[in-house]
Structure formats: C-alpha cells, structure tokens
C-alpha cells in the first residue's frame, strides 16, 4: 500500500504535513471512484447474464460507492481550505461531515437491500449462473477485499474517520457479494433459491454496521475527550518548564487534522515577578505551536508558596479530601484568615467517569474539611475533567 500511495502522492509518509495528508486523502478518493466504477461495470454484466436481482443490486451498490468516494474526495479538498472570517478555526471538520455522510449511505443501502430481499423472498425469481458470471463475482470479491484493506491502511495512517468508514463499507460489500455467491452455489446444487434469505441476512448486518458507523463518525463532531496519551504528554511537558509548579483545567478541542486548540491553567509562585512568569507562559505557548502544532492558551494562576501556615493547611485539606473522595484532586487553594472564622476556597477536580452528582461530592468534601476546625467556612468549586 505504501509503495502504491507513494507513487500517487509526493512526500507520502509525511502525515504531519497538511498538504501531504490532503493529497493522500484525495488520491484515496480517486482510487475509490475508479475501482467502484470498474466493479459496477463487471457486476452489471454479471447481473444481466444471470438475471439475478441480487447481483444487479450489488452492482448499483458499487455505483453508489463511487458517489461515496467522490464525497470523500471533495471532503478532503474542502477540509484543506484555510480559515476565514466565518470559520476562524478552519474547515478541517468537513472530513468528519463526509464520514457521517458515508455512514448514512451505508445505512440507506442496508435498508434498501433488506426491502429488495424481502421482495425476492415473497416472489422468488429463477437465476442462471454461468462460469463467467461466477468468475466475475469472484473477481469483484477480491477487488473489494483489496479496496477494504487499502482504505483501512491509509485511513489509520491519516487518522481519518471518513476513510475508515469507507473501508468498513467495502468490507460490507465483500460480505454482500459472498452471500450472492453462496446463494448461487446452493441454488445450483440443491435447487432451493436462497438468494432472498441470504440477502436479508446481509442487509441486517449492513444496517447494524451503518448505525455503528454513524455513532463513531459523529463522535468527533460532538466533541470527544482528548487522547489520554496526549493529555499526559501536555502535562509532562508544561511541568518541565522552570517556574511552573502545577497545572489544571486542561481543555483540548479538535477542529480536524492539524487543527488542535487547547487551554490550561498554570500555577506559578505568587512571589515571582509577574513579567518573568508571563515570559515563561509566552515561551510555552510558542513552543507548543511550533513543535506540537497545538494552539495553546494558558491562564496564569499565582499561588502563594511562602506562607507556612497556608501550606500546612493545604496538605491537611488534601489528605481529608482524598479520604472523602479518592477520585478528587484540589487546586487553586486560597485561605482568608480571620479572627472568628477563616474562609477556605479551592477547586475540586473529579473525572467524568465518577457518576456521583457534584452536589453530593461537594457536600462530602466540605464536611471533611470543616471537620478539621469548626471555624472553617469552605467554598468548593467542582470541575469535571478527562483522565
């Protein structure tokens, strides 16, 4: 696959280059159009020779696949358009939209094949399969299998949901054509026409596959949680900068390949000159854009580190919070010391996977901290985060 794509796309393999990725996607779409048109032609011939509704439906399916490939080709082209006034984050999500479109086409074809198969069950039609017809179907299975592997391989390397969805569609076509072949063999050997029943079975499989693909390709549009490895690498890299003592509230937005935006709160010592801390933050943002391609925006949080009394209480609070809610971590810890009472304010971050409501978690944490001293008045802000 790599050598074939290397012949079609200059610089193939440099997937961090947006132009190379776009060219590879368009090349994959063009290959899909050409191979599906070829399959349509040979299956149309096979269907006319055998008088098989199943084979003719399979031929039309391949013609529709050509349309899917065209959608994917156009999608990669539109996704490469630069940002403009109406779309300041670029057009890269067009690729996701194309993936959803292909998924709906798969669902539609599954339902259509189901209705056709039910009609074939009610009114069976005689079929005549010649060696030429069977040979054409075998050829189409092998070509579709290659097409499936091609889309899957290129799709994984480009991290393209649209290409992977098209690969699943090609896999469904392989199963559909194999069902037609199996029906032909059974009909010829036993005389029982199972074309409609096998078609219905395949239709159910394709329909379920279409629903699954819609859910998978629609996830990026809804906004998925960032890759845990990416989150870990961002945390590790930012904390490696001298002058940063902590970070929290990391949010990552993906607007398509090469369009990653993130924001995070970085804790810095309050005693450090604000100009020095600001310079560190600027360097981090610039390094991430240049080296990682991530548009990072950092909010600076000054943290008092020179007050032993506050630091000691912070460690006590951290311990009791860990007992009250082991999944929680605290940040933005502040204390306003008073004569009759002291206000303790901090944020508690818990994972989205924790099913307890925020109110219940907040009540447990506040109760644990107030148990340290009745004069403490606790204010807890709840944060949900991906881990």
Q: 140-151 pLDDT, tens per residue?
A: 889 889 988 988
Q: In the predicted model, what is the mean pLDDT of residues 151-172?
A: 82
Residue-by-residue DSSP string for 80-94:
TSPP-SS-TT-STTH
Q: How many CB atoms lie within 10 A of CB 186?
A: 16
CATH of domain 2-222: 1.20.1510.10
Distance CA 16, CA 66 (A): 28
Tell me the C-alpha to C-alpha distance, in Å, between residue 193 and each of 60, 120, 127, 186, 202: 22, 10, 9, 7, 16
Domain 2-222 matches domain 228-385 at the CATH topology level: no
Helices (H), ranges, the chain:
2-8, 18-50, 53-79, 94-122, 131-158, 161-190, 195-222, 228-239, 274-287, 308-324, 358-370
Count CA within 13 A, CB hemisphere, residue 332: 18
Look up residue 226 and give its DSSP letter.
P
Query: What's the pLDDT at 125?
Result: 65
**pLDDT-derived band at 228, boundaries 50, 70, 90:** confident
Q: What are the residue ranges spanned by the domains of the chain? A: 2-222, 228-385
**pLDDT-derived band at 54, boundaries 50, 70, 90:** low
Query: What's the pLDDT at 365?
Result: 94
Query: CB–CB of 168/149 below 8 Å?
Result: no
Look up residue 297 and give its DSSP letter.
E
Q: Which fold has domain 228-385?
A: Alpha-Beta Plaits (3.30.70)
Distance CA 111, CA 105 (A): 10
Model confidence over 335-378: pLDDT tens digits? 888 889 998 989 999 988 888 999 999 999 999 999 999 999 99
Evaluate if residue 126 carries a pLDDT over 70: no
């Amino acid at each position: 696959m790599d050598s074939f794509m290397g012949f079609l796309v200059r610089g193939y393999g440099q997937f961090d280059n947006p132009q190379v990725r776009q060219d590879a996607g368009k090349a994959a779409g063009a290959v899909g159009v050409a191979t599906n048109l070829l399959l349509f032609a040979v299956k149309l011939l096979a269907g006319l020779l055998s008088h098989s509704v199943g084979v003719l439906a399979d031929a039309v399916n391949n013609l529709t696949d050509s349309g899917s490939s065209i959608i994917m080709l156009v999608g990669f082209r539109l996704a490469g358009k630069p940002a403009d006034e109406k779309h300041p984050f670029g057009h890269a999500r067009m690729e996701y939209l194309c993936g959803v479109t292909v998924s709906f086409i798969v669902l539609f074809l599954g339902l259509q094949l189901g209705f056709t198969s039910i009609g074939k069950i009610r009114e069976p039609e005689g079929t005549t399969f010649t060696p030429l017809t069977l040979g054409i179907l075998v050829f189409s299975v092998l070509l579709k299998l290659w097409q499936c592997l091609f889309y899957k391989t290129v799709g994984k390397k480009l991290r393209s949901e649209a290409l992977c969805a098209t690969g699943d569609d090609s896999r469904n076509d392989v199963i559909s054509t194999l069902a037609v072949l199996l029906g032909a063999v059974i009909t010829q050997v036993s005389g029982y026409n199972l074309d409609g029943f096998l078609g219905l079975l395949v239709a159910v499989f394709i329909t379920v596959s279409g629903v699954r693909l819609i859910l998978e390709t629609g996830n990026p549009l809804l906004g998925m949680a960032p890759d845990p490895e990416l989150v870990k690498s961002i945390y590790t890299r930012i904390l490696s900068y001298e002058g940063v003592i902590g970070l929290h509230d990391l949010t990552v937005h993906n607007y398509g390949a090469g369009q990653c935006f993130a924001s995070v709160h970085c804790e810095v010592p309050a005693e450090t000159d604000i100009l020095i801390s600001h310079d560190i933050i600027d360097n981090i943002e610039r390094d991430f854009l240049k080296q990682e391609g991530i548009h990072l925006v950092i909010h600076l949080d000054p943290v008092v580190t020179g007050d032993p009394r506050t630091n000691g209480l912070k460690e006590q609070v951290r311990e009791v919070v860990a007992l009250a809610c082991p999944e929680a971590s605290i940040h933005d810890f502040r204390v306003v010391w008073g004569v009759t009472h002291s206000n303790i304010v901090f944020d508690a971050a818990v994972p989205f996977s924790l099913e307890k409501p925020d109110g219940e978690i907040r009540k447990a944490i506040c109760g644990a901290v107030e148990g340290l001293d009745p004069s403490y008045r606790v204010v807890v802000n709840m944060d949900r985060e991906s881990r």
